[in-house]
Amino acid sequence: MAQKAKTRRTVVIGMLGTTLDTGMGSQRWTRWRPTVSLCQQEDLLVHRLELLHPPQATSLAAVIQEDIAQVSPETQVRLTSLPIRDPWNLEETYGALLDHVLAQSFHPEEEDYLVHITTGTHIAQICMFLLVESRLIPGRLVQTSPGKGKEHAAVGTHAIIDLDLSNYDTLAARFRRQQREGLSFLKSGIDTHNAAFNRLIERIEQVAVQSRAPLLLTGPTGAGKSQLAKRIYALKKARNQVAGPFVDLNCATLRGDGAMSTLFGHVKGAFTGAVGDRPGLMRQANGGVLFLDEIGELGADEQAMLLRALEDKRFLPVGADKEAESDFQLIAGTNRDLQLDVERGRFREDLLARINLWTFRLPALRERPEDIAPNLQYELDQASQALGTRVTMSKEAQEYFLRFATSPEARWSGNFRDLNAAVLRMSTLAAGGRMTREVVDEELERLRAQWRPAGAVATSGSEDVLVEVMGPARAAELDRFDRVQLADVVTVCRSARSLSDAGRTLFAQSRAQKKSVNDADRLRKYLARFGLAWADVSGRDAE
């Protein structure tokens, strides 16, 4: 004979409602009392009720225990007095509840646990929620409500809430939609395809909405640090993370005595020409975000003052006897290697440690070839707004531009600034708002000429390039002829995406006359003549 399955018991943990659960005389049965109501639900059998109450409510708790015995004889009510003097004190209430929960033995394989969150102060309800959310109580929430009409008001209704979002498709979908909107916002609505960049933006979104710690954005000039900083601020503003303004400054523009005044302000008469008080950018950013681009350009004194302002939220304006206060979040940007600057004594190590908690490197445009097409469309939309007319590209023109833009020949040394300028020029010259192949041809020649000096560093900076790759001793052993040629090869390798791309650029003419080509092998053998490998000259692993 099959053994009868053991029935799981339902255990409810709840706080006594010192206001909602009150009632004396026969009239109390016409009132909605949440704790009693919970045990009157037809489709919810409560086997045991753990009723917690403050010491001063012992009498009321006893009345509730007796009333539940009348309406639900199957329910065992266990009263527990908690040492809570002030139920509106978060620390005291949570501490008492936590101590009680930690002293209990839960058996989730035999019992289903519900935590009643309708009664008790708001503080107690929050604490109960936290104990369930953290899984210290392995159960679900139950909420009761009064019924409609006089006949059903006292009994009311109940709803069980599972904090596992996977059981709430609508809530989970809204959460995912909000996250996607945040990611799209940070990317200016551009549908980027580069996996590494998308992961970077996901992490920035996660940190931006949860932390007020400093953020450090690194990457080459024109990679989009300033634009991203503004987007981070706007996202935090939309999520009610900040209330103050966005204040930005390019530290490379600071010069001399004016640097301290610009950042920290000054008082009247602090120096010649100080005819009035100046609050300074740091005070202007109070409650908001301060973006310091090119932070590596700050002088030693400004670095020391900034560190104090970050740690203590206080600083001394120029010429002042009294400190000023400002609570802001710092976003710093740089295209320099700040760790190298620390080693060279140009940047404070303690300041770098303070702003280096969250560091995100924005890749160069040429590192994201798959994102050039969607960014091209974005720049076309921006150009259309700037010119006040709709600008489009013919299919032939677009394919021709993208073929060049994603090739090793396109250096994009100015990154998105180069792309923005190129699209704006082409849009301006597009007759009737339609960009043709001829317009694109003209722009490509302009870009080639613009980038040519940067590609010719072999003649002017060959020593620096080769010393960096080979070391000063080995570089000095090369003939002048080899130095010039090898430096140009190294420069091309650094800007190429792969060994094969570099080979195609370096052997573009001769390869056209060969029936069978292996540019990668040809370049590999050339580098080997000087004891070099692809990883040595490009900084990336071999293919």
- CATH of residue 136: 3.40.50.10770
**CA 184 to CA 171: how far, in whole Å?**
20
Give the start-end residues of each E strand in 372-467.
392-393, 434-435
Residue 326's pLDDT is what? Answer: 93
Determine contact, residues 212/254, Cβ cutoff 8 Å: no
Looking at the structure of the chain, the number of domains it has is 4
Own/partner contacts of 101-104, CB < 8 Å, gap of 24 or more, are 101/131, 101/136, 101/137, 102/136
- Above 50 in pLDDT, residue 3? no
Range scoring the smallest mean pLDDT among 23-32, 190-199, 230-239, 446-455: 446-455
291 & 220 share domain? yes
- Above 60 in pLDDT, residue 454? no
pTM of the model: 0.58
Q: Which residue has the higher pLDDT, 214 or 209?
A: 214
- Above 50 in pLDDT, residue 66? yes
Is 105 within a domain? Answer: yes
Domain boundary among 343, 361, 379: 361
Locate tokens 């008001």: which residue? 153
Residue 164's pLDDT is what? Answer: 64
Sign (positive/negative) of CA torsion 266, 268, 271, 274? positive
494: number of Cβ within 10 Å: 14
**CA 276 to CA 108: how far, in whole Å?**
70
Q: In sequence order, what are the residues at sequence separation of 6 or more whose Cβ sits closer than 8 angstroms to the Cβ of residue 389? A: 433
Both structure tokens of 232: 């981070």
The radius of gyration of the chain from alpha carbons, rounded to an integer in Å, stands at 34
pLDDT level of residue 416 (50, 70, 90 thresholds): very high
- Above 60 in pLDDT, residue 320? yes
Kindly report the backbone phi and psi dihedral angles of residue 159, in degrees, each rounded to the nearest multiple of 5, phi listed first.
Answer: -140, 135
252 & 313 share domain? yes
pLDDT tens for each residue of 24-42: 778 888 889 999 999 999 8
pLDDT level of residue 168 (50, 70, 90 thresholds): low
**CA 437 to CA 442: how far, in whole Å?**
9
Is 320 within a domain? Answer: yes
pLDDT tens for each residue of 487-542: 889 988 888 888 888 888 888 777 767 766 788 888 999 999 998 988 888 776 55
Both structure tokens of 126: 């929050």
Residue 341's pLDDT is what? Answer: 93
- CATH of residue 386: 1.10.8.60
Domain boundary among 335, 361, 387: 361
pLDDT tens for each residue of 369-411: 999 999 999 999 999 999 999 999 989 999 999 999 998 889 8
Both structure tokens of 253: 């523009």
Is 447 within a domain? Answer: yes
**CA 492 to CA 408: how far, in whole Å?**
8
Residue 459's pLDDT is what? Answer: 42
pLDDT tens for each residue of 270-307: 677 777 788 889 999 999 999 999 999 999 999 999 99
- Above 60 in pLDDT, residue 171? no
Residue 176's pLDDT is what? Answer: 60
41 & 137 share domain? yes
Residue 4's pLDDT is what? Answer: 47
Determine contact, residues 487/458, Cβ cutoff 8 Å: yes
* Mean of pLDDT values over 134-152: 82
Is 305 within a domain? Answer: yes
For the chain, how many residues are written? 543
In 80-194, alpha helices (H): 90-102, 122-133, 150-153, 169-186
Residue 455's pLDDT is what? Answer: 41
Q: What is the mean pLDDT of the chain?
A: 86
For residue 444, what are the domain limits? 365-451
Is 507 within a domain? Answer: yes
Residue 460's pLDDT is what? Answer: 43
Is 36 within a domain? Answer: yes
* Mean of pLDDT values over 4-16: 82
